[in-house]
Amino acid sequence: MEPIIIPIEDVLDLHTFRPKEIPDLLVDYFSACIESDIFLVRVIHGKGKGVLKKRVHSLLKKNSLVKSFKNAPPEAGGWGATLVELRRK
């Protein structure tokens, strides 16, 4: 299977990824964002039952590239998305 190339921007939609891909994806994507001078990323995990959101938040807490994170405001997805502030070099 060939790797999927996704554009590096300030939004990452997790709907197209399998749960087992997400830990490495977040690290790789955030690293690429920092290299592109993007330090605020909206991660869309969806609302559902909150399972993916809890997983994402757990991974964000452990990620050294993450300075802080919070639920997105209603106009940016509300509790279906998380705003992630990345550390500057």
Q: How far apart are the first and last CA of the chain?
A: 34
Q: Which fold has domain 11-86?
A: Ribosomal Protein S8; Chain: A, domain 1 (3.30.1370)
Q: Render pLDDT for 5-50 as a digit per residue (tens, 0 to 9).
A: 778 999 999 998 998 999 999 999 999 999 999 999 999 999 888 8
pLDDT range class, residue 2, cuts 50, 70, 90: confident
pLDDT at 1 over 90: no
Q: E-strand spans in the chain?
A: 11-13, 40-44, 66-71, 81-86
pTM over 0.95: no
Please give the DSSP secondary-structure letter assigned to residue 2: P
Rounded to an integer, what distance in angstroms lies between the CA atom of residue 41 and that of residue 69?
Answer: 9
Pairing mode, if any, of strands 11-13 and 40-44? parallel
* Contact indicator for 86, 40 with CB cutoff of 8 Å: yes
